[in-house]
Structure 1
Amino acid sequence: MVKIEESKNLGSAVLFGNIAIFIVAIISSLFFSLLLSFTSLQEASLQHVITAVSFIALFAGGFIAGGKGKQKGWLLGGITGLLYSLIIFLFQYLGHDRLFDMEQIIYHTCYILICMMGGILGVNVKGKSS
């Protein structure tokens, strides 16, 4: 019975982490699209900023997952990042009939790693305050 509750807790932590990632992604996408529409900025000039916001969103998602799970932060962060990458891959493959190219594979590997780091930090920060 303990294993079922533990897996539900880990599953909800991963779910909350991914929800946080997608909320930040949606808000930042709206902000950047409005910025690009109503100013003379070009997308190429914001590429590094958009990448940084993506990494921050995944770190925050891993942090939230680790904080909610309260244990195994590297695993929670890794699963959160992996689920995020899987959702993006499925959207791209099923919606646009394209696989990841090498650049995207590198980005998503880094996303998973940064999400793992967020999960580790989330467990450690939440564990000390409890």
Structure 2
Amino acid sequence: MKQRLTALMYGWLSIIILLILSSIVLAIFLRFTSLTNPLLDQLAVIIAFIILFISGLISGIKAKQKGWIIGIILSLSYSLMIYLYQYLGYGEQFTLAQILYHLGFLIVTIIGSILGVNIVETRKTNP
């Protein structure tokens, strides 16, 4: 149980750090290039998928077992935080497109955490 909580904390920490770094990079690109808003939206979604995959991978490596559970918990907690921010901050519900994005986030995070567990298992069996 403690190992799973540690893995989730590492996953959340990686999500926060990577989101801050990507926000800074996107802000710099927006300021100093001719990046347009539709392109920025697509780029932000792609970066979000990559961030959740990497954080799922890190969580799976730290958990060392049951990566799919870690991926589900990490992704659902991320979606809950986004929903609470959107609902409490702006008074808006998820749209159908956002629900589909978050289902994609769920799948990507689960795949990342499963791969993270299997990377650890491969290292143990093949010295």
TM-score, normalised to structure 1's length?
0.89
1:108 matched to 2:79: no
Amino acid at match of 1:35: F
Corresponding residue for 2:9? 15
Taking only aligned residues, the RMSD between alpha carbons, in angstroms, comes to 1.1
| 72, 79, 104: which one aligns with 2:73 | 79
Corresponding residue for 1:26? 20
Q: Name which of structure 1's ranges 20-29 and 110-119 shifts more when overlaid on structure 2.
A: 20-29
CA distance in 2, matches of 1:67, 1:52: 23
Give the Å deviation of 1:63. Answer: 0.6
Report the secondary structure of 2:92's partner residue: coil
| 19, 28, 39: which one aligns with 2:33 | 39
CA distance in 2, matches of 1:48, 1:107: 12
- In structure 2, runs of 5+ residues without a counterpart are none
| Equivalent residues, number | 124
Identity of aligned residues (%): 40
Corresponding residue for 1:4? none
Give the Å deviation of 1:48. Answer: 2.7
- In structure 1, runs of 5+ residues without a counterpart are 1-6
TM-score, normalised to structure 2's length?
0.91
Report the secondary structure of 1:44's partner residue: helix
Corresponding residue for 1:68? 62
